[in-house]
Amino acid sequence: MLLDALFTHGRFTTLEPDRPTATAVGVVGGLIVGFDEELAGCRAETTLDLGGAPVVPGLHDAHQHLSARGQDLLMCDVSPAAVRTLDDVYAAVGRHAAGLAPDAWVLATGLDDGKLDGSPTREGLDAVCGGRPVWVAHASHHAGVANTVAIRRIGFTDPRDLPDVDGGWIERRPDGDPTGLIAERAMTLIFAHIRPQPFEEFVHAIELGSRAALADGLTSVTEPGISGAMIGNSPTDLAAFMTARDRGVLGVRMTVMPEISALHDIERDGLGLDLGLRSGLGDDVLRIGAVKIISDGALTARTAAVCCDYADRPGGRGLLLDDAAVLQEKILAAHRAGWQIGTHAIGDAAVEVILDAYERAQELHPRTDPRHRIEHCGLADDRQIERLKQLGVVPVPQGRFLDELGDSYVTALGRERAGLLYRQRSFLDAGIELPGSSDCPVVDGSPLRGIHSLVNRQLPDGSVLNPAERLTPLQALRAYTVGSAYADHQDHRKGTLARGKLADFVVLSDDLLRVAPDSIGDVAVVATVVGGVVRHGADSLDRH
């Protein structure tokens, strides 16, 4: 047999019980065709010597906004990695504004005022923007701060006239004057004027996001929301991904989730994209996944719908962006039409509403293994976890949130209640297949640091939040491989290394299953291989 590629002298962890390890892998047509002794006598167009390096199956982020990650790389960075004080935020925005046209929007991203000595206001931004409109997006992407010029640019000469929006929130001072903070669906007032990004720029953002993902060791990414009013860039988002694929700049495998507002009533009994498209259409490079629905907000913005008051906001329990009846109607329509559904629900009150809606949809219109998802599933009690299992619903949590945002969570919920956050071990113990994900660019998108977080569950201060929820390194690796493939209905194609599956794998500097748990995040990506082609780190491998 003539192989397209032969990878030798590796320490492959396959996650397959019949052959858990291997030293050589053969590839034809992007698929694995054999291991070790099965390759005896085979010749190869290309042979790559891995030099004894550890290799794991391709890592898959089940919830990463890859296009937004690329877009953020083109904006002013005010994340905790770039700024330490409120004055730093203003200075960064001012420097960025100075390089723009006099009437250009100044866009910044990554704001986490919980780590600053104060919160930016519209007046503070006015002072540094040189008369330009400013929008500073919160790291959660569920809120942001607009300056006075921005509010006027969108049509309100007097900022006090800025209207309230159902499913949204505008922070106001006691006299009704807005501070500039705008959250959830109210952000569409701004988005209508700063979107869409021009098509070619958006394609470039996808390229940048893909490069960053490959450098992180990701071979597959599920983008949880395109073409929506609140999430995504424009109705042509899918075309931009197709263009990136056709130009060869989409190096990772993508599953994209259209936001439900992008769907149309095409017949009495269902919703679909134009021509009636739905989950599952596509190929191994680009496919349509679940439809995305957003039910609540974020804990950091105190807009996640929770069943008990926020510890630092008496009487505050967040909000549902639509009432329960409307959410159930959306879910029922999408389920009936054959869609897999991924609903954003962080607070336990929102999780309950979505579980009820999924259960009702399946009762009225039974389907075999719809595998609906709850994106984040941040707060969940034991009863809700059992319901997830009974209904076959896949939670898609983010372990990295605790490392970067956990201090804000403890402030919002109190230490005891915060222990119910992101209960990955409880999901596994209940028999639920657990995916791995980041929600990048909300937090760091590295799957290796994500695995580190799942194993260690440390907060920014170094303390451990509910140590009973920590995973073993093997469980965490399975989440970012087998679990994420399962969440995408793709476990028959990827997630493990086996004959007939996609030849996706990652060469590492150290064995993450053997290093000290607190050193997992230090393991580096040597090379990322997609379909037997080295997409990142080719210079690190001995090719002959």
For the beta carbon of residue 369, count every other beta carbon within 10 angstroms.
8
pLDDT score of 107 more than 60: yes
> pLDDT band at residue 426, thresholds of 50, 70 and 90?
very high
Distance CA 511, CA 167 (A): 46
186/125 same-domain check: yes
Distance CA 504, CA 429 (A): 28
> Residue holding tokens 């030798």?
8
pLDDT in tens, 364-378: 999 999 999 999 999
Q: How many domains does the chain have?
A: 2
Is 309 a member of any domain?
no
80/146 same-domain check: yes
Distance CA 485, CA 495 (A): 5
pLDDT in tens, 81-97: 999 999 999 999 999 99
63 DSSP 8-state letter: S
Can you say whether residue 377 is alpha, beta or left, with left for phi > 0 and alpha for psi between -120 and 50 degrees? left
| Arithmetic mean of pLDDT, 424-435 | 99
Length of the chain: 544
Is 341 a member of any domain?
no
CATH at 119: 3.10.310.70
219 DSSP 8-state letter: E
pLDDT in tens, 164-185: 999 999 999 999 999 999 999 9
The tokens of 72 are what?
Answer: 């953020």
| Arithmetic mean of pLDDT, 468-472 | 99
How are beta strands 505-508 and 525-530 bridged, if at all? antiparallel
134/171 same-domain check: yes
| Cα 338 to Cα 59, 278, 343, 351, 495, distances in angstroms | 28, 7, 15, 22, 24
Is 400 a member of any domain?
no
> pLDDT band at residue 231, thresholds of 50, 70 and 90?
very high
Is 244 a member of any domain?
no
Q: Which long-range contacts (CB under 8 A, 24 or more apart) does 175-181 make?
A: 178/122, 178/151, 179/119, 179/121, 179/122, 179/145, 180/120, 180/121, 180/122, 180/123, 180/125, 180/145, 180/146, 180/147, 180/148, 180/151, 181/119, 181/143, 181/144, 181/145
Query: Which pLDDT score is estimated for 229?
Result: 84
pLDDT score of 269 more than 80: no
Distance of CA 525 to the CA centre of its chain: 20
pLDDT in tens, 296-307: 999 999 999 999
Q: Among 194, 218, 253, which residue terminates a domain?
A: 194
Query: Which pLDDT score is estimated for 123?
Result: 97
Q: Among 194, 228, 243, which residue terminates a domain?
A: 194
CB contact at 8 A, 345 and 387: no
The tokens of 140 are what?
Answer: 């959660």
Q: Look at residue 258 and give its three-state secondary structure.
A: strand
178/101 same-domain check: yes
32/118 same-domain check: no
Q: What are phi and psi of 458, to 5 degrees?
A: -90, 145
> pLDDT band at residue 189, thresholds of 50, 70 and 90?
very high
| Arithmetic mean of pLDDT, 266-275 | 62
Query: Which pLDDT score is estimated for 541?
Result: 86
Distance CA 141, CA 156 (A): 23
Is 459 a member of any domain?
no
- The share of the chain scoring above pLDDT 70, in percent, equals 98
> pLDDT band at residue 58, thresholds of 50, 70 and 90?
very high
- In degrees, rounded to 5, the angle at the alpha carbon of residue 303 between the alpha carbons of residues 444 and 148 is 85
For residue 205, give the H/E element and its range: helix 199-215
Smallest Cα–Cα separation from 496: which of 35, 3, 7, 5? Answer: 35
28/108 same-domain check: no
For residue 353, give the H/E element and its range: helix 348-364
89/169 same-domain check: yes
Query: Which pLDDT score is estimated for 242?
Result: 98
For residue 69, give the H/E element and its range: helix 66-72
pLDDT score of 271 more than 70: no
88/188 same-domain check: yes
Query: Which pLDDT score is estimated for 317?
Result: 98
How many helices (H) and strands (E) in the chain? 16, 27
48/76 same-domain check: no
| Arithmetic mean of pLDDT, 405-433 | 97
Q: Among 194, 209, 231, which residue terminates a domain?
A: 194
pLDDT score of 255 more than 80: yes
CATH at 19: 2.30.40.10
Among the ranges given (105-119, 238-252, 255-269, 425-439), the one the predictor scored with the smallest mean pLDDT = 255-269
Is 51 a member of any domain?
yes
Among the ranges given (56-60, 64-68, 202-206, 539-543), the one the predictor scored with the smallest mean pLDDT = 539-543
78/177 same-domain check: yes
> Residue holding tokens 């201060």?
461
pTM of the model: 0.94
Range(s) of the domain holding residue 44: 2-55+500-543
Establish how many alpha carbons lie within 13 A of residue 465's alpha carbon, considering only the half-sphere containing its beta carbon: 31
Is 374 a member of any domain?
no
For the beta carbon of residue 51, count every other beta carbon within 10 angstroms.
13
Residue 447 identity (one-letter amino acid): P
Is 250 a member of any domain?
no
Query: Which pLDDT score is estimated for 149?
Result: 97
> pLDDT band at residue 266, thresholds of 50, 70 and 90?
low
Distance CA 347, CA 141 (A): 16
pLDDT in tens, 141-156: 999 999 999 999 999 9
49/81 same-domain check: no
Q: What is the mean pLDDT of the chain?
A: 96
> pLDDT band at residue 543, thresholds of 50, 70 and 90?
confident
Euclidean distance between the first and the last CA atom of the chain, given in angstroms as a whole number: 18
> pLDDT band at residue 436, thresholds of 50, 70 and 90?
very high
| Arithmetic mean of pLDDT, 355-370 | 98
